[in-house]
Amino acid sequence: MEITKDNVDKHRERTLEFGYSFFKSKVLLTAVRLDVFNIIGEKGLSAGDISAKINSNVCATETFLDAIVSLDLLQKDNDKYFNTEEGKEIFINGRDRYIGDIVILQDVMWDAWSRLSDSVISGKPARKPDMFQADKNETRNFIIAMHNTAMSVAPVISREMDLSDCKTMIDLGGGAGTYSVFFCTGNSDLKATILDLPGTLKITKELISSSGVANRIKLIEGDFNKEIKGQYDVAFLSNIIHGEGEQENIALIRRVYNALNSGGKIIIQDFILDNDKASPCFPALFSLNMLLFTENGRTYSFQEIKGWLQEAGFCDLTRMDLKLPRSISVLIGKK
Enumerate the domain spans of the chain: 5-92, 111-334
The band of 63, judged by pLDDT with boundaries at 50, 70 and 90, is very high
Q: Over 70: is that where the pLDDT of 148 sits?
A: yes
Q: Over 90: is that where the pLDDT of 136 sits?
A: no
What would the pLDDT profile of 219-249 be if each residue is shown by its tens digit? 999 999 999 999 999 999 999 999 999 999 9
What would the pLDDT profile of 272-300 be if each residue is shown by its tens digit? 999 999 999 999 999 999 999 999 999 99
What would the pLDDT profile of 5-40 be if each residue is shown by its tens digit? 889 999 999 999 999 999 999 999 999 999 999 999
Topology adopted by domain 5-92: Arc Repressor Mutant, subunit A (1.10.10)
Radius of gyration of the chain (CA): 22
CATH superfamily ID and name for 111-334: Vaccinia Virus protein VP39 (3.40.50.150)
pLDDT attached to residue 135 = 82
Average pLDDT over residues 124-146: 87
Whether 322 contacts 157, CB under 8 Å: yes
Full DSSP string of 33-96:
HTTHHHHHTTS-EEHHHHHHHHT--HHHHHHHHHHHHHTTSEEEETTEEEE-HHHHHHHSTTST
Burial of 219 (0-12, 13-18, 19+ CB in 10 A): buried
Instruction: Determine if the pTM surpasses 0.85.
Output: yes
- The backbone region for 281, taken as left when phi is positive above 0, alpha when psi lies in -120 to 50, beta otherwise, is alpha
Helix (H, G, I), strand (E, B) or coil at 195: strand
